[in-house]
Amino acid sequence: MTIDGIATPGKIIAVHLNYPSRAAQRGRTPSAPSYFLKPASSVAPSGGTLERPAGTELLAFEGEIALVIGEPARRVSPADGWRHVASVTAANDFGLYDLRAADKGSNVRSKGGDGFTPLGPALIPAASVDPAGLRVRTWVNGALVQEDSSGTLLFPFGQLVADLSQLLTLETGDVILTGTPAGSSVVVPGEVVEVEVDAPDAAGHPTSGRLVTTITAGTAPFGDFGAKPATDDLQRIEAWGDRERAGLPEPAPEPEPNSAFELTPALREHLSTVGVATLSVALRKRGYHDVFIEGVHSNHPGRRLVGRAKTVRFIAFRPDLFERHGGGFNAQKRAFDTVEPGEVLVIEARGERGTGTVGDVLALRAQVRGAAGIVTDGGVRDAEAVAGFEIPVFSQGPHPSVLGRKHVPWETDATITCGGAAVQPGDVIVGDGDGVIVIPPHLVEEVVAEAVAQEQEDAYVAEQVAAGASVDGLFPMNAEWKARYRAEVEGR
């Protein structure tokens, strides 16, 4: 069987991304080509119609250069790949974004429908053109919407043939669709799409002629025995090419992390009375298991720490990076010089305790500015002097070395990992003799309420044990003890 003189291919192999312009539009550039298969039944001639199925909205065109294999290729080199191409022509790799999710990336239904691969109308002999000198253009209703050159391809034609031939034999008549440039978009019933491939600099200016497809509206509904068309704004943006063409408003700017939360005096007071151990239990109940900053201890045993995080991140030492980022008013000094009253400076030092991450001068600066404390998973320099300050400092312990021995001060006010816990600017930091915990702001109120109630129960249990009660049934309280506890609370 032939269509416009082109034999129906045994297989059609299409490349996902190949033009830099399209990769930029998609926001990703592949390091190697990837492919999908289209059925031979999707091939259609020039001048035909393509039905947009009933119940769908996102039928998109993709003008492409199609390679038609001549001599079979198996395990050929990129340098020899082009020699196995007999001819090139125009193709339109139509796709239905409404069915993109149906086959988890295989594109069987989204790109394999009848008529979804128009080819032709004429073949250009490969021997007559430079593989880097071909042009592909697409028009919709007579307006040029796509234009690019094979000279810009991420993966040249010879490489595609060689890559595919490593695992499968490319047989005579097989077709490779080589990717589409930027400009692909949605077409609707009544619109006409034309694709042309030519070699403008070759002798005689060979051309495929215009591959013409008219879009019509389907009427047959989808049955209830398979995936139904479905779409969302992300699919609309990808199908149309951008948000504006999809008719979608610009999204509202996202608020800064934790910006809506306020650590009120009442919350701060409650957090100053409940233990880190109790808070950790409440957080674990909600699935937060890695919110404890491991390995840090206070320079003021018995002192508590409550505040919102201001973050600093150090990266591993490298001479050239330290030369550029370590001197002057660096990230470390900026953080200590701009910390606000009630904030806790939280320093990511990668758990490296073999050098200081804060010393007496910066600790004093933080104290003068009203900081609620300092937490570092590294060491503290000038430890005796720092211990004499009022500001609580939680660290892995003292070390006399300067910052540049192990660290480069890199950035402030970013999400960090301190002592194995993720910390975002504005997170609530609580420290006591058990260590330091991180509470996401949206959980603070419910966690505090639960922790306060739990500590009241714990205090009651402690009173009973002090009075001689056995812990059996009391710790934790069984139903009988809980009833006694509730009666006593209500009596108060």
Helices (H), 241-297: 265-271, 276-285
- Asked whether residue 420 carries a pLDDT value surpassing 80, the answer given is yes
Q: Is 443 annotated as a binding residue?
A: no
Residue 297: name the closest of 237, 380, 417 by CA. Answer: 380
Q: How far apart are CA 15 and CA 141, in angstroms?
A: 26
Residue type, 122: A
What percent of the chain shows pLDDT beyond 90?
75
Q: What is the pLDDT of residue 1?
A: 46
For residue 66, pLDDT over 80 is answered with yes
Q: Record the tokens describing residue 214, joined without a space.
A: 């008219």
Q: What is the pLDDT of residue 5?
A: 61
Other Cβ atoms within 10 Å of 14 Cβ, number = 25
Task: Report the candidate in 209, 233, 198, 238 with the shortest Cα–Cα distance to residue 62.
Answer: 238
Tell which wins on pLDDT, 264 or 3.
Answer: 264
CATH number of 2-240: 3.90.850.10
**Per-residue pLDDT for 91 more than 90?**
yes
361 is known to lie in a ligand binding site: yes
Secondary structure (DSSP) of 74-108: SS--HHHHGGGEEEEEEEE--EEGGGGGGGTT--H
Region 231-240: mean pLDDT is 90
Predicted confidence band of residue 256 (pLDDT cuts 50, 70, 90): low
Residue 439 confidence (pLDDT) above 60 = yes
Give the rounded distance of the alpha carbon of 168 from its chain centre.
Answer: 33
Q: Is 312 annotated as a binding residue?
A: no
pLDDT reading at 424 higher than 80 = yes
Provide the pLDDT for residue 258: 62
The residue type found at 211 is L
Given a cut of 60, is residue 226 above it in pLDDT? yes
pLDDT digits (tens, 9 = 90+) for 22-60: 999 888 899 999 999 999 999 999 999 999 999 999 999
- What is the residue type of 482? K
What per-residue confidence (pLDDT) applies to 471? Answer: 85
Instruction: Confirm whether residue 426 is marked as ligand binding.
Output: no
How many CA within 13 A on the CB side of residue 308?
Answer: 23
Rounded percentage of the chain residues whose pLDDT exceeds 70: 97
Asked if the model's pLDDT at residue 259 lies above 70, the reply is no
What is the arithmetic mean of pLDDT over 350-364?
93
What are the residues facing 375 on neighbouring strands?
Answer: 346, 394
d(CA 341, CA 306): 12
402, 322 Cβ separation under 8 angstroms: no
Mean pLDDT of 355-371: 94
Q: Is it true that the peptide bond before 121 is cis, omega within 30 degrees of 0?
A: yes
Kindly report, residue by residue over 285-318, the tens digit of the pLDDT. Answer: 899 999 999 999 998 888 899 999 999 999 999 9
pTM: 0.57
- The letter for the amino acid at 411 is E
Average pLDDT over the chain reads: 92
115-129, 159-173, 232-246: least confidently modelled range: 232-246
Average pLDDT rounded to a whole number, residues 146-151: 96
382 annotated ligand binder: yes
What is the identity of the amino acid at 213?
T
The CATH code of domain 265-444 reads 3.50.30.40
Q: Which helix (H) or strand (E) holds 409?
A: strand 407-412
**Residue 410 pLDDT exceeds 70:** yes
Can you list the positions of beta strands (E) in 150-265? Answer: 175-177, 192-198, 211-217
359 is in an annotated binding site: yes
What is the b/e burial string over 306-337, where b = at least 16 CB atoms within 10 angstroms of the residue's CB? bbbbbbbbbbebeeeebeebbeeebbbbbbbe
Q: Give me the sheet containing 85-92, strands edge to edge.
A: 35-38, 12-15, 175-177, 63-69, 85-92, 124-125
Q: How far apart are CA 86 and CA 166, in angstroms?
A: 19
Beta strands of 164-206 (E only): which ranges?
175-177, 192-198
